[in-house]
Chains A and B, each alone.
Chain A
């Protein structure tokens, strides 16, 4: 069952928290809503769940307009950051809650509960109370509870952000496995963690300040960001001011050849642009294109070195892996990159 949001707008007391959002999630697809806090991503999820009624626009589930349908008639499973397990019920009753609410025959409930708990490896905890479980275990139960009703759509509202780094990695793998094992389940996952979004999602919707900025596969967002916001929010980026001059782009004294399809739509000749260079795509020494500069700072981050280089008064960050003796501050360096690693981005925020 797919999800379709058509021009959904939400505002509270004059503040627009979601501005005319159009978003389509195909059946069986895992989509991440990625953005900083206040970007509207949770509100978007809540319009799908039915807890927030849009001021305008429609919400469709599986081709059906559910905008006026209360949450309990939408048949979507939901997992929230605080787990929200019912503290007065044992694990099995928590998982059975949705089944009973939907009138599943009594003799079927027990086997469905077991099945849902097995799915997350929590089968042996059925008789426990939530307070007797660790955070990670509680989140597994919460996922089982949401999956027990066999929803066509699963909503995940920052489900991993209350867990510590190790558990988060473990649960990320778990979610990836569930997505593989349940190919028909459409998942909408709200997160502010780009790693989670890139690892799990088939497509990532990047939201910022109530608007959808970009919606694409993780690979495309990372390799070919179309806005400065995405470039900076998904991975880190050096953004260098540039100018279009005929069929070339001039940046920091270099000239890069461009073909029309590289350019953001509607870029006029002579217009300003930005060149996005990922820090780990830059190498020391000459390459297809070479910038010259002076090292201003060097820091060691375990597996990599971070080098800050002054190029024509612009500071450029370079990530060096496997360098035993990187150049120290004050040293002159050459920074090389391939034409393919330089992505052209418009100056403004809009795509």
Chain B
């Protein structure tokens, strides 16, 4: 019963009937939204105004007036189109990788536990507090042209160079993104698995269901909201990822954020940068809104992101 009752302090909207004596009031009660004004004003100045500036800059023609010309130019350039394709392919590929890997790891940690599996989960958690580019840096030592894998290959075969050259291709970016973003799938999954009643699993097993069947018919339906939400979040984060791509140093892997950076900083072409930024942001915000509505509809925890541990 008490769960039904949200805390509500007396509001100023009194509906006293005229026959009643004047109700006692204490001081002036301020409506809740008034307290939200200071942080919202700060947000408007530091986020909304700058984003507005980007949009207005993106519609500025060479003469300084309003123009859709920059969009026509950017959309028709092969550079942009290639970047868009690369970005989407890398993001989708990384997301699929994260989902598969996250699901497998979460299933093992939750249902086939072994000594140390819990700390492995916590270890993956600490990834969330490290910058993404460290992964690329590490991969340079492992699979880079002078790294561990190629070094072993040349030592063994006597060849001049090793076969591992994928690091400067989109595959290298995907590998790094899968490594870095898998925790974002793993955490909501582990949280969802923790909700599954072990009695339910034992009941299914005692009825003769094989493990694969238990996974399919009991565990996966429970995990689906977390999986969908985690996947959507990772897709947004992959679309936005910049540092990983920057660190691979590959000239031919240009994603949208990379294009924004090079247009603005290396070429000082702010209008083009703003056009690409607007398109990239629209894409990400759209997906993010989808993620929010999915999490609220599926009832998944909306804390799939870098939320603090309770």
Contacts and interface: CB of A to CB of B under 8 A. Distances in A.
Contacts of A67: 10, 14, 16, 23
B212 to A, nearest CB: 42
A40 B10 contact: no
A37 B16 CA distance: 30
- Of the listed residues B9, B14, B20, the one surrounded by the most CB atoms of chain A closer than 10 A to its CB is B9
A53 B13 CA distance: 10
B199 interface: no
A179 interface: no
B289 to A, nearest CB: 25
Interface string A24-46: 00000000000001111111001
B77 interface: no
A53 B8 contact: yes
B20 A53 contact: no
Given A64-B24, A66-B24, A46 B14 contact: no
B62 to A, nearest CB: 56
B119 interface: no
- Of the listed residues B1, B7, B8, B14, the one surrounded by the most CB atoms of chain A closer than 10 A to its CB is B1
A56 B14 CA distance: 10
Contacts of A153: none
Contact of A38 (B1, B5, B10, B24): B1
Contacts of B24: 64-66, 68-69
B26 interface: yes
Given A56-B15, A69-B25, A69-B26, A51 B20 contact: no
Contacts of A43: 1, 4-5
A15 B9 CA distance: 20
A52 B23 contact: no
Name B's interface SS: loop
B126 interface: no
B5 A51 contact: yes
A226 to B, nearest CB: 25
Contact of A51 (B7, B12, B25): B7
Contacts of B14: 67-68
B2 interface: yes
Contact of B2 (A42, A58, A70): A42
Contacts of B23: 58, 65-69
B78 interface: no
A67 B1 CA distance: 21
Contact of A157 (B2, B6, B7): B2
B304 to A, nearest CB: 28
B5 to A, nearest CB: 5
Nearest to A82: B2
B9 A42 contact: no
A70 B5 contact: no
A46 B26 contact: no
Nearest to A58: B20
Contacts of A41: 1
Contact of B20 (A39, A50, A65): A65
A70 B29 contact: yes
A36 to B, nearest CB: 10
A68 B10 contact: yes
A42 B10 contact: no
A258 B25 CA distance: 54
Contacts of A38: 1
A205 B280 CA distance: 63
B32 to A, nearest CB: 13
Contact of A69 (B2, B4, B6, B10): B10
B206 interface: no
Contacts of A50: 9-10
B21 A42 contact: no
A73 interface: yes
Nearest to A10: B5
A17 interface: yes
A46 B24 CA distance: 18
A37 B15 contact: no
A46 B21 contact: no
A69 B23 CA distance: 8
Contacts of B9: 50-51, 53, 70-71
Contacts of A40: 1
Contacts of B25: 68-69
A64 B26 CA distance: 13
Contacts of A66: 23-24
Interface in B12-50: 12, 14-16, 20-21, 23-26, 29
B8 A52 contact: yes
B11 interface: yes
A71 B26 CA distance: 11
Nearest to B25: A68
A68 B11 CA distance: 7
A286 B253 CA distance: 100
A233 to B, nearest CB: 16
B5 A46 contact: yes
Contact of B21 (A15, A37, A53, A65): A65
A39 B26 CA distance: 32
Contacts of A51: 5, 7-9
Contact of B5 (A37, A52, A71): A52
Nearest to A39: B1
Nearest to A40: B1
Contact of B1 (A37, A69, A70, A73): A37
Contact of A42 (B5, B7, B8, B29): B5
A43 B5 CA distance: 7
A58 B23 CA distance: 9
10 contacts: A17-B4, A42-B1, A50-B9, A52-B8, A58-B16, A66-B23, A68-B12, A69-B10, A71-B9, A157-B2
CB-CB nearest 7 A-B residue pairs: A42-B1, A68-B23, A73-B26, A65-B23, A70-B10, A70-B9, A68-B14
Interface of A: 12, 15, 17, 37-43, 46, 50-53, 56, 58, 64-71, 73, 157
Interface of B: 1-2, 4-12, 14-16, 20-21, 23-26, 29
